[in-house]
Amino acid sequence: MIKKAFKLILFALAAAIIVYVYPREGRFRYQFQEGKPWRYGLLTAPYNFSIYKAEAQFVAEQDSALKQYHPYLQQNSEVLPQTLEKLAEDYQQVLRIMVPERYLEYLNEQLSLIYNAGIISAEELSQLEKEGHQTVSVRIDNIGETRDITSLFTAKKAYEALLSNLPRNINKNVLIRDCHIENYLHENCVYDKTTSQRVKEELLSSVSRTQGMVQRGERIIDQGEIVNHETFLKLDSFRRQAEKRNDQSGGNWVLLGQILWVALAMSMLAIYLYKVRPQIYAKTSDIVFILILVVTLCLLSALIIRNDQLLNIYMVPFAIITILVTTFFDSRTAFYAYMITILICAPISHFPFEFLMLQLAVGVISILTLKRLTQRSQLIFNILWILAMYCIAYTSISLMQEGSLSQIQWKMYVSFIINAVLLFSSYLLIYLFEWMFGYISDVTLVELANINSKLLREFSESCPGSFQHSLQVSNLASAAAQSINANAQLVRTGALYHDLGKMATPSYYTENQSDGSNPLLNLPMEEAAKIITDHVPNGLKIASQHRLPKVIKDFILTHHGASSARYFYTLYKNEHPDQEVPEGFFYPGPDPFSKETAILMMADTIEAASRSMKVYSEESISNLVESLIDAQFNEGRYKHVPITFQELELIKEVFKDKLRSIYHARIAYPKANA
């Protein structure tokens, strides 16, 4: 009960995360573009609203208003008298001995002119010139006047002005050497940032954002009419007003709608897994995996919608769900999870209907072109099909709506290409999720089935007979798996490793005894049986050392189930009919629990037994297959396997056909005459 509740909490948590990141603004229910037909019915204004100016017009009017703007400077009127007073004191105390009085008169006159014009810091003057201002407003004791910016002085310019255009009776060197005129040049104007900003904002605010009104009940547009510029402004203003009203009074209703919609979608996903894929619903890790994909794509979509000036929702690689879920589960679950994700994201897209149409087409083509991912080329072709479907579907929808190629937004194709590039990350994500959740993909199974791998080479060298047996079992088992739509690649790979434990004691197994001697016959029965049954735990140990996936270890553990080492078990029972057989005569198990592990048990038993047959007739092969599989069935070896009698019969027929092919009679070649 607690486990069931926890799974429901996972779905609720995923829904809560999605709702939390959903854009909270209410969506305007009409989609429209200037110059395109209105696709809805007659639209009349439900209330009064102002018509907003076009953005370009509004910006132009603001720029025009700013032409009247002048930066403000604050001029300190006390600096000039203080400077002249300091000059008079210096003259009386020092300068009168060195220079005539006409120098004092010259400096008084010129300093008055310069200070009245204004001395500003070089940095502030440079900034004003950089901003392109030609005039400034100078405030002196709260009285303002407009001045040309070129009339302002910096300390350097004032110094140069005092030394230029000198009267004949004033010597430049005397001014520099004796008067030290730089001591009487101080800034008396500073940039008034507060006043300047206030005046600037007043000018901008004087530009109205709106022009005209639409009265309640006024006709705006009817179906089929072209959205011209004037109508576009009305529709855009209606949209702004509607969204503003939603934000002010309907925010909670928008949130409630989002909660209901996401909860509905998540409920459909949960019900599908519970009813149609109970094996997935039974494992919490599988639920977490699917929810991670759904939530991540919804988060990306919400993030892009919030930044749709730069990004496009079609950049989100939604089809990555179909690739990953098909790889680890099946295509039906992949398509269902994909469509749930699309349904969740559609309401926040700008054009939900077009979004659904495009994504539906892409989802279908992705599922149809990727059944089992075993090679990188399959992924490449799948992504190319997805890209082609995006482009074709978008082009066809645009042509149906616009009736012209000129109206197609070509930048959409860039978004589709980015989407395709991001889909290539699925190859890396396959390995990441294998590590995180213990999954195994067909790509990994194909890599593990490479007989040139280090471990399989060691196996073939130390146990050549066992390795050949494993190859034969692999072929038998994969053919049987294909006949009942089980995972043939999984069985093929598992079969190659099922007898890995024989590497610990290779000479004790008859298939590896080239000289005909069997050391087991010289050992006590219990010890001999223990050596035989130990190849299962030994195989598990070797598999762990080489970090083989759990699903491969399952084949090692279950290929004999909890059955007995029949040869020594029978000998012991014959010699000790009244005694209980010790545990050493039995394999540790467990019994098979899936179609794939059951098929391997059958193939292993039949392949080994077929090597001891005297006659390979159709009847003897049929009897062998029937008797061995029936015996295992009667022992209860398949009681945990979800397999039907019909599937068992199909498997038997495959084994019979394969054995007949392997052991068919060959013609005798004639000898050449001497």
List the domain boundaries for the chain: 2-26+250-437, 72-203, 442-662
d(CA 604, CA 597) in angstroms, rounded, equals 11
C-alpha dihedral (514, 520, 522, 527), degrees to nearest 10: 160
pLDDT, position 4: 81
Burial readout 252-287 (b: 16 or more C-beta within 10 A, e: otherwise): eebeeebeebbbebbeebbebbeeebeebbeeeebb
Tell me if 181 sits within 8 A of 87, measured CB to CB.
Answer: no
- Count CB-CB contacts under 10 A for residue 77: 12
Peptide bond into 71 cis (omega under 30): no
pLDDT, position 386: 95
Q: For the segment 230-273, what is each residue's pLDDT rounded down to a tens digit?
A: 888 888 887 777 777 665 555 677 788 889 999 999 999 999 99
- CATH assignment of 442-662, among 1.10.260, 1.10.3470, 1.10.3210, 2.10.25: 1.10.3210
Q: Residue 180 is encoded by which pair of tokens?
A: 């030290």
**DSSP summary character for residue 146:** E
Tell me if 184 sits within 8 A of 86, measured CB to CB.
Answer: yes
Closest CA to 296 of 243, 341, 259, 229: 341
C-alpha dihedral (307, 309, 314, 315), degrees to nearest 10: -70
Q: For the segment 590-631, what is each residue's pLDDT rounded down to a tens digit?
A: 999 999 999 999 999 999 888 888 887 888 888 989 999 998
N residues, the chain = 674
Q: Report which of residues 405 and 50 the model is more confident about.
A: 50
Beta bridge partners of 219: 44
Round the average pLDDT of the chain to a whole number and report it.
86
pLDDT band at 26 (very low <50, low <70, confident <90, very high): low
Closest CA to 324 of 417, 196, 427, 195: 427
In the chain, % of residues over pLDDT 70: 95
pLDDT, position 608: 87
DSSP string over 331-380 = HHHHHHHHHHHHHHHGGGSSSHHHHHHHHHHHHHHHHHT-S---SHHHHH
- Count CB-CB contacts under 10 A for residue 445: 22
DSSP string over 569-589 = HHHHHHH-TTSPPPGGGB---
User: Which CA distances in Å does 381 have to 145, 274, 326?
Assistant: 74, 33, 15
**Which residues, in sequence order, are CB contacts of 229 under 8 Å at separation 6+?**
34, 54
pLDDT band at 581 (very low <50, low <70, confident <90, very high): confident
Q: Which pairing describes strands 189-191 and 143-148: parallel, antiparallel, or unpaired?
A: unpaired
Q: Residue 20 is encoded by which pair of tokens?
A: 């939390």
Q: Would you say residue 318 has pLDDT above 70?
A: yes
Q: Residue 194 is encoded by which pair of tokens?
A: 């507060």
Residue type, 110: Q
Q: Residue 99 is encoded by which pair of tokens?
A: 């220079």
In the chain, % of residues over pLDDT 90: 34
pLDDT band at 1 (very low <50, low <70, confident <90, very high): low
Q: What is the pTM of this model?
A: 0.68
- Count CB-CB contacts under 10 A for residue 497: 25
Q: Would you say residue 40 has pLDDT above 60?
A: yes
**Which residues, in sequence order, are CB contacts of 355 under 8 Å at separation 6+?**
313, 342, 345, 346, 349
> Distance between terminal CA atoms of the chain?
86
Write out the H or E segment, with its range, that includes residue 43.
strand 43-44
Tell me if 532 sits within 8 A of 524, measured CB to CB.
Answer: no
Q: For the segment 146-169, what is each residue's pLDDT rounded down to a tens digit?
A: 888 888 998 899 888 888 888 888
Residue 646, Cα to own-chain centre: how many angstroms? 43
DSSP string over 381-416 = HHHHHHHHHHHHHHHHHHHHHHSSGGGS-THHHHHH
pLDDT band at 669 (very low <50, low <70, confident <90, very high): low
pLDDT band at 59 (very low <50, low <70, confident <90, very high): confident
